[in-house]
Amino acid sequence: MTLRAIIIEDEYHSQVQLKSLITKYCTDVTILGVAETVNLGQELFYEKRPDTIFLDIELGGESGFKILESIKDHSFSVIFTSAHEKYSLRAIKFAALDFLLKPIQINELVLAVEKAKNNHIKFNQSKQLDLLLENLKSETYSYQTIAIPQSREIRLLKISQILYLESSNNYTTIHTTESEKLIVSKGIYYFDELLSSLGFIRVHQTYLVNKYFIKGIVSTNELELLNNTRIPISKQKLSYVKEVLIKQCL
């Protein structure tokens, strides 16, 4: 299928580079137009009604997120671009949306476009964009919900519903309080980075655990959770885990 796209980017050389890369490596994407500011971006969106927006986060001192806030119907996909890894990147990851760091790498662009095409067939990104805008309102960045891509849907999962995460090669299984197992095609290091500030501790190379569901340490190298699940603790992590649990009890 062909994606109808617009580019909202305030730097001319970045516009030219992105258009060139898309034309050369993403031949099934049609660029309908380019805008440089928030106001022009809004006008271009309503004029063209694209399937996908390539959206720079910073537009001449204004936030590109303002464009999304002004659009009520989020039945389109967004691929964010930026030259800076800022707090907003974390919000984007929690919403399971795509982000391209400048200078844009060809393989990352192609992958993001393929995901946009697949998502356009399976489901729209409305829930993800709504979650992103909600998370951006948080002044502490203590997000309470994370988007989990599944084969035919995007699951919005409360952080408080996650018991632990288990790694298997480049996949991660999320175990929930409802005894569900959600498999995600991302390594556990990805979730470690996102969730470590929200009470999750890496107790083993394979396991990331929500500390609020830990009952205690049993034997010398296992955790027991409130649901009686036992999780191994690596020797390297044992002292760290004990320290975290002691602080939690204070």
pLDDT tens digits, residue range 38-97? 999 999 999 999 999 999 999 988 999 999 999 988 889 999 999 877 757 888 999 989
Listed in sequence order, the residues at least 6 apart from 223 whose beta carbon sits closer than 8 Å to its beta carbon are 203, 209, 214, 215, 216, 217, 230, 231, 232, 233, 241
Is the pLDDT score of 250 beyond 60? no
pLDDT at 65: 93
Average pLDDT over residues 2-27: 96
Q: Which CATH superfamily is domain 3-135 in?
A: Response regulator (3.40.50.2300)
State residue 88's pLDDT score: 78
User: In this structure, what token pair is assigned to residue 231?
Assistant: 């999780």
> Tokens 């655990």 belong to which residue?
209
Q: What is the pLDDT of residue 179?
A: 95
127 contacts 154 by C-beta, under 8 angstroms: yes
How far lies 136's CA from each of 63, 158, 188, 242, in Å? 11, 16, 24, 34
Q: Are strands 3-8 and 52-56 parallel, antiparallel or unpaired?
A: parallel
- Please check whether residue 176 is in contact with residue 157, taking contact to mean a CB–CB distance below 8 angstroms: yes
**What values do phi and psi take at 55, rounded to 5?**
-120, 120
CATH 3.40.50.2300 domain extents, the chain: 3-135
- Of 54, 71, 158, whose CA–CA distance to 108 is shortest? 54
Spatial separation of the C-alpha atoms in residues 92 and 112, rounded to whole Å:
14
The answer to which of 80-84, 165-169, 222-226 has the lowest mean pLDDT is 80-84
The model's pTM is 0.84
What are the C-alpha distances in Å from 25 to residues 1, 16, 30, 105, 157?
A: 15, 14, 12, 11, 35
In this prediction, residue 137 has a pLDDT band, given cuts at 50, 70 and 90, of confident
Query: What pLDDT does residue 75 have?
Result: 85
Query: CA 135 to CA 202: how far, in whole Å?
Result: 24
Integer Cα distance of 220 and 202 in angstroms: 17
Asked if residues 102 and 81 have their Cβ atoms less than 8 Å apart, the reply is yes
Q: Where in the chain is the domain with CATH 2.40.50.1020?
A: 159-249
Structure tokens at 106: 């060809």
> What are the φ/ψ torsions at residue 171 (nearest 5 degrees)?
-120, 155
Q: Which CATH architecture has domain 159-249?
A: Beta Barrel (2.40)
